Structures are given as structure tokens and as C-alpha cells.
Structure 1
Amino acid sequence: MPLPPSVTSTRKRPVNLTLNEHLVAQAKSYTTNLSATIESLLTDYVTAQHQARLSRQQAADACASDWNAVNDAVGSFADEHSTL
């Protein structure tokens, strides 16, 4: 599945973030490009969330399909109680 366009975009713009000062200082000891590191982590997060959403949608679609198959095979319980 392709990623949402916002994940694959190359256009960059400044944003304001509020981050723990001590954590930022520690992170800077591991990377010379904090922006790129955070962007990479954020990309991974967005990708994982996108995949989770697709997975939930596929599970819901499969459930609906299974219930439709049961309804087609045996009918609906409510059919026996129609007041019409």
C-alpha cells in the first residue's frame, strides 16, 4: 500500500515543537542532524499508523463480508419477526 502523500513529500518547512530539553541534549550527542533524525522517526510512526488503519479496515471488511455470507445462507434472525 502506498504511503499517504504527506509522508513522501520532500518539501520542508519549519515547525515549532515543544520537547524535553534534557532529552534533546541527549539526542544531540547521538546525531548531528536532529531534524533528520526526528523526521525519520516521525515517518516511521506515520507509516505504522497508516498500516494499522489499513489493517483495521481490512478486518472490518472481512467481518462484514462474513456476516453477509451468513445472512445470504441462512437469512436474518429479524426476518422471522417482521411486522409487515
Structure 2
Amino acid sequence: MQPGCRLQPAARRRPRHGRLRSSGLTPPPPRPTLGPARLGVCAGPTCRATFVDLSRNGSKQYCTRTCAHRASVAAYRSRRSPR
């Protein structure tokens, strides 16, 4: 190899945005509407943010992992505190 010469990775061919490859694939069907039953209010003790529950079984309780972690830590600390 000559000095100053760099190896370049091979260029990857990607389909342009919005176009399908000519492999005969069809686009995925549109997602069904989830309805108002999937809207919720965060169960965190100090948070009242709203969220859309996109989980499969519809069991989401918190708006973010941070709120879920705070509630988990608070429950742990209340169990561990001397009475």
C-alpha cells in the first residue's frame, strides 16, 4: 500500500426515501387507530403528564422510565425504612 492512501468502505446502495426496491415488496398496512383507551395519565406521585400507551397489552402506567424508576425507588425505600 502506498503512503497517504486510505481504504474506503464500499458504498452501500440504499433505496431513496419513499421509494420501494424493485423486489416486489408492498408497503406495510397502516396501523389501526388505538382509541382513547390507550391515553393515560402518569401514575408517578408528583407527575401528571399524559402519554399514549403503545404496549401490546395496554399496561403502561408511567410517562417515562424516569417516573417509573422514581416510583420504584420510593417504594423500595418505604419498605426498607425502620418502622
| TM-score greater than 0.5 by the shorter chain | no
Q: TM-score range by the shorter chain?
A: under 0.3
Structure with more contact order per residue of length (Cα contacts < 8 Å, sep ≥ 6): 1
The TM-score, its normalising length taken from structure 2, stands at 0.25
Report the structure, 1 or 2, having the larger helix content. 1
With the length of structure 1 as denominator, give the TM-score of the two structures: 0.25
More strand by share: 2
